Every structure is written in structure tokens, then in C-alpha cells.
Amino acid sequence: MTHQFQFKNRLSETTSPYLQQHANNPVEWWPWCDEALELARSSNRPILLSIGYSACHWCHVMAHESFEDEETAAMMNRLFVNIKVDREERPDLDKIYQQVHQFLSQRPGGWPLTVFLAPDDLMPFFAGTYFPSSARYGMISFKELMLRLDDAWKNQQQAIRDQSQSLSASLSQMNPADQGIAVLDASPLQKGRQQLADSFDKRHGGFGQAPKFPHATNIEFLMRLYAGNTADRAVSTMALLTLQRMALGGIYDQLGGGFCRYSTDEQWMIPHFEKMLYDNGPLLALYADAWSLSANPLYAQVCEQTAEWVIREMQSPEGGYYSTLDADSEGEEGKFYIWTPAEVEALLSLQQYRLFAKLYGLDKKPNFEGVWHLHTFTDLAPLAADEGMALEEAQQLIDESQQILFAERSKRIHPGRDEKILTSWNALMIRGMARAGRIFLKPEWIASAEQSLEFIRSSLWREHRLLATSKDGKSHLNAYLDDYAFLIDALLELLQARWSSRDLEFAIELADILLSHFEDEEQGGFFFTSDDHEKLVHNPKPMSDDSMPSGNGIAAFALQRLGFLLGDLRYLDAAERTLRSAWGGLMQLPHAHGALLMALEEQLNPPEILIVRGSEEQLAQWRAQQHRSYHPARMVLTIADDAEVPETLADKKPKPGGVIYRCRGTHCEAPQALLITTDAHR
């Protein structure tokens, strides 16, 4: 019998593609809103909160098994008020309830996140992730779970209230506070280096066991350590071997560029096939830096292919960058990316196929569910020698083969694309594009970053505050700490790619909002949501990195650079207060705080700041001779003689023949003449 439900599914009008995927479920879904919360209170029904995102494979599985099933939906509608949340639009809710899951289950969470909340105080009394439609994998069925929790709500109220009180107290103690230490020192830097060395995979690169994630902030931290002490070759090896193995592995799209979210194995061979904007922005910057450090052409190729992929597939006509590509196509994970040897052999010449098959493992056993996913199994040089050809000729054959297969793959049904535009994720890609564009002298990459920034200005900057998300012309939701911190950092990077007085003023305005609306003035650091945000059961002050760098870490790093550039103690003091607040975590688990470690490094050894004035021609020549240098603790602004500059930089005046103003921390040297040589230096 078809279930006739009283209320309609309310997800069709939302901006989230993930919520819209569930708009036709027989579940009476609500988005998170006051009306849904009031319904739960007035009917005294618990809230079934389901959090996921559009590219999440197991979210799709649970949707097909349970949320599309009318019998399951009828039980959900009868017993609970059902709320669906996109974790990418509402990271505030996701952070709170992932933390709760950790408390209640004593293990990390994930997606889909399934949480049952008391209707009056919104405190969870149960949290889990995926539940099957029938008992398997050592788990009870989703329907059985709902029946048990309904019974608990009706018959174990006091136990639930006691647990909620204990949970609330635990949450209130989670936010870090100033430790009252006398002096910040470098001990977390070396301890973090050692923790990473202890977990480093010397054979395949990366850290820890499978599944393996890129952890871009940790790799960047190691590269910065090496730049400060080139005698520490082990640090360089950890960073560059990891980047090399990732670039050669199946986690990297060998035909189309861009990285998948993580590898399911130690060899970086088989990924979870979703591609996320937030990974690829930091990785683009990181591979550009790695090329500056090592001159390895592999890293240049990764940057070229990834930047092209972003512009081709992830940038909207309006300029903003889209969020994700799904892991699935045609209902199967990875189907868009995999091959059979017969398919490849039919497309390539005999010589091309022989080389390609050996390089990418088509001559080996299938490596993904009976088919082949491209993963580099050997070096090209010995293959070229076996074929009696020069390495350059072999590389040309591989390049041609990749182009042929890419063209053929483009005819397939593509994975779904989540086309919402998130401020924080766009900021990460703006930074990556600007940095790579500056290092490789690619004006089109810098222009791509500028287009995204202009989208943010026009669509996500309203009444002098940021909004978090935009889709189909609708922008909404108060922006979070990450939005402000990442965008300040991106603006400082873009300013190094090309000067704009307007962008510096924007960065200052964003920094002032951080201080006035997000800072914990008593204990230091920044809350994830602003002081005028919707009141939730907890406002976390996240210090450690997760899938993205810590908002507090990036805020401290960017505010320090802005403070040193402008000579503004407000920003420097706020950064130091953040580090003091985070000190307990930095001392205990420094490797989990990569962004804060880099902020600490520049707190102890302030960055070198160069302001270069000259003609446009002089500046272009100077940038060209500098682009191969790897100086992570240096910030360079090249400002044309006739450019507008804010009052804070008015003393950095142009001089005949060009001039360089050099400062470190609060100390500035006498101006130096701008010297342009014909040889690039490292």
C-alpha cells in the first residue's frame, strides 16, 4: 500500500544539489530551518538529522536503500522530524555533530552522518554513519535502529537527559584556551617533524596506513622546514617522494588532471573517485612550489593538467569555481575513469599500446573490480630502452596516447557535478591558481583566479559581510571562519601575482570582520561562526586540520603577514593570541596542526617582505628572473610606478630605475636599486 504522507518533501527549493537529490524521496525531508525545529518541539518528536554531500558514494547507497524505500520512509515520517543537511553548505552543523559522534561512539565519524536529536534542546542521543537496509556488515538495519531509538525516546527520558547534560559539559570544555605560557618557542616544529617522520611510508610516500589522504598542509610544512635547513634531506624526501608517488598514482587523473579525494590503498593506486575543489587548490600551489624547489618536470605537468582541468570543467561562466565531481557515473563508482586493455588497444597504434600498457599496468591483472584504472607502474626510461628508442620519442608517444584516450573518454557520460559555489573552497583555488600562475608565468591562470574573486565580490559580498554559498543566482548563509580566513590568505597570494590596491583594502576589511565578529577575545583564537550567527548547541574553535587546513591556522598565518606588511599590531596580536590558545594541541599533536605550525614558524621567524617598484616592463623582467626561486618565507609585491597604493604603503615610493624595499618583521632596510639580470637564479 502506498504511504500517503501529510507533509511534502521541502528540498526542491534549496540551493544544495545534495538536498535536491533527495527532493523526490517519499521522506518528509526538511532543510535545517526554524520551521522544522519548531515542528519537532511542538510534536515532541525527535529529529532524525542526516548529513552528507553530493559526491558521497555511501550517501547515495543509503539513499537508494532506505530513503527511496516507501516502507522505510513511512517509518521515518511517523516517528521523527527528518532534516537533511549538506555538510558543505552547513559545516557549522557538521563540525558539531561529527564531534558528538566521536564522543558517543568513541571513533571517527564520516558521511553519511546519522544523528538523532532531542526536539527541545537539539542535543543528540545517538549518532552513527551509514546503516544498511537489512542487518549486515555487523550492523543492525536502519529500520530496527529507528524502532529502538523511538522506544528509547519514549521510555528512557531520564537516561537521555543525563547523557545530554554530560555531553553538553564535554562540548563546553572542548574549545582550547590560552595556556598562560611565557614564551612561544620552536619545540612544536621539531616535534611535528618527528611525528611525520615516524608515520612516513618510505616506499610509497604519504603518512600512515591506507586509506591515504594528501594532507597538503603537512607536506607544505615539511617543504618550508627544508627551505630553512637544506641540510635536512630527510624532510625534503618526505615531501617530494609523497608528491611524486601521488602524481604517478591512480589518485591523480592521468588523462585529465586533478586529484581524487583519497587513495584506498597504500600505493595511491585506487582512489575514492570523487574530485573536490578544496583538495586541488592547495595541491596546485604545492606542486608549483615543488617544481620551484626541484625542477622536476613531473610537477610542472601536474600543474599544467590540473589548472587546465579546473578552467575547463570546474569554473562557471560567471567566474566562480564549482565544488565537486561525483565518484559515480551511471550508478557505478569510477566508471568514467576505468578501461579494459581491449578498449585501449583498439584506439592506439601497436607501438603506442606496447609502451602505454607497460607504463600504466594494462599488461598486469585488473586492479579495480575486474577492470583497469590507470596507475604508473614503472619509469618510462627503461621502457624506452627496451623499445630501442630515445626517451623523448617515448614521451611523445605517451603524450599522444593520453590525448587519444582523453578524447575518447570525453564521449562517456560524465560524473555529476555539484555546481554550488562555496566562498571558502573558491578561496583555496584562487590561492592555488595565483601561486601556480606566478611561478609558471601563466597569466591565464592568474586571470582565472581573478574571475573567481570577482564572482565573490559580486555575488557573495553583501552589506560588508561574506555569504557562504551561491547557486543559480541565489546566495545565502552567513559565512564561516574558513570563508574569511581562506579569502584573506588568497588575496595576499593574488597580490603577489599582480598588484591591486583594491584587493589589499578588501583583505583589510575581511581581517577587521574576523577580529570584530569571530575572535575569542578572552582566550584567543577564532570561533567557527560569528557572534551574530544562529545559536547552536556549540560553537567550536577548531585548531587542527581536517580535510581542509584549519581556519584558525590560516587566520593566524594570514593575519601575521598582513600585520607585518601594514605594521598593524592588531593583526599580529590576534595571531599570537591564536597560537597561545592552540598551544596545548600544538605540543601534544603538532602533526595534526600543520597550518598552525606554519603560522608559528613565521611568528618566530617573521617573513621577509619585498615591495618592488618599477615600470611594468621592469617588473615583468624581474618577476621572470625570480619565478624559479623557492622562498616560502618571503612575500613579494611588485607595484608599478603609476599604480595606486593605499596610505599604509605610501612611503614605498617609486624611484628612477626601480627600487626594492626590504623588511623583515618590524625592521626595514635602506631601499636598494632594482637589478635585473639575464640569468634566472634559484
Which pLDDT tens digit goes with each residue over 290-349? Answer: 999 999 999 999 999 999 999 999 999 999 999 999 999 998 999 999 999 999 999 999
Give the pLDDT mean for 347-372: 97
Give percent above pLDDT 70 in the chain.
98
Picking from 276, 271, 131, the residue whose alpha carbon sits closest to that of residue 212 is 271
Give percent above pLDDT 90 in the chain.
90
Distance CA 608, CA 575 (A): 17
Give the pLDDT mean for 410-435: 98
Cβ(59)–Cβ(424) below 8 Å: no
Distance CA 614, CA 622 (A): 10
More confident residue, 490 or 679: 490
- Quote the DSSP letter at residue 414: P
Stated as kind and residue range, the H or E segment containing 113 is strand 113-117
Report the Cα–Cα distance between both ends of the chain, in Å, rounded: 74
Cβ(546)–Cβ(476) below 8 Å: no
Q: Which residue has the cell 544562529?
A: 534
Tell whether the model's pLDDT for residue 5 goes beyond 60: no
Tell whether the model's pLDDT for residue 8 goes beyond 90: no
Strand partners for 368: 371
- Residue 136: partners with Cβ closer than 8 Å, 6 or more residues away: none
Tell whether the model's pLDDT for residue 413 goes beyond 50: yes
- Residue 346: partners with Cβ closer than 8 Å, 6 or more residues away: none
Determine what percent of the chain falls in helix, strand and coil, rounding each to the nearest 5: 50, 15, 35
- Residue 33: partners with Cβ closer than 8 Å, 6 or more residues away: none
Cβ(47)–Cβ(41) below 8 Å: no
- Within 10 A of 669 (CB to CB), how many other CB atoms are there? 10
Tally: H helices and E strands in the chain: 25, 20
Q: Which residue has the cell 531509538?
A: 149
What's the pLDDT score for residue 676?
84
**Nine-digit cell string for 235:** 624532510
- Binning pLDDT at 50, 70 and 90, where does residue 3 land? very low
Picking from 456, 390, 454, 402, the residue whose alpha carbon sits closest to that of residue 425 is 456
DSSP-derived 3-state class of residue 103: helix
Distance CA 590, CA 420 (A): 34
Cβ(58)–Cβ(438) below 8 Å: no
Distance CA 256, CA 267 (A): 20
**Nine-digit cell string for 21:** 537529490
- Binning pLDDT at 50, 70 and 90, where does residue 1 land? very low
Tens-digit pLDDT profile for residues 229-258: 999 999 999 999 999 999 999 999 999 999
Cβ(116)–Cβ(42) below 8 Å: no
What's the pLDDT score for residue 682?
37
Cβ(334)–Cβ(370) below 8 Å: no
- Quote the DSSP letter at residue 318: T
Domains in the chain: ranges and CATH: 17-172 (3.40.30.10), 188-330+418-604 (1.50.10.10), 337-411 (no CATH), 608-673 (no CATH)
Picking from 291, 195, 193, the residue whose alpha carbon sits closest to that of residue 233 is 193
- Within 10 A of 135 (CB to CB), how many other CB atoms are there? 14
Q: Which residue has the cell 529507528?
A: 146
3-state secondary structure 598-640: HHHHHHHCCCEEEEEEECHHHHHHHHHHHCCCCCCCEEEEEEE
Q: Which residue has the cell 615591495?
A: 611
Q: Which residue has the cell 617588473?
A: 619
Average pLDDT, the chain: 95
Give the pLDDT mean for 556-564: 98
Give the pLDDT mean for 456-462: 98
What's the pLDDT score for residue 678?
58
What's the pLDDT score for residue 4?
41
**Nine-digit cell string for 78:** 511517523
**Nine-digit cell string for 618:** 621592469
Give the pLDDT mean for 249-278: 97
Single-letter residue type at 648: T
Residue count of the chain:
682
Q: Which residue has the cell 530513503?
A: 67
Q: Compute the C-alpha angle 625/626/628, nearest 5°.
A: 100
Cβ(29)–Cβ(18) below 8 Å: no
Q: State how beta strands 113-117 and 47-52 pair.
A: antiparallel
Distance CA 155, CA 539 (A): 31
Tell whether the model's pLDDT for residue 135 goes beyond 50: yes
Backbone angles phi, psi at 136, to 5 degrees: -170, 175
Q: Which residue has the cell 521515518?
A: 76
What's the pLDDT score for residue 7?
56
Q: State how beta strands 47-52 and 81-86 pair.
A: parallel
Q: ω into residue 112 within 30 of 0, thus cis?
A: yes
Distance CA 615, CA 654 (A): 9
Q: Write the DSSP string, 331-383.
A: TEETTTT-B-HHHHHHHS-HHHHHHHHHHHTTTS--SBTTBB-----S-HHHH
What's the pLDDT score for residue 2?
39
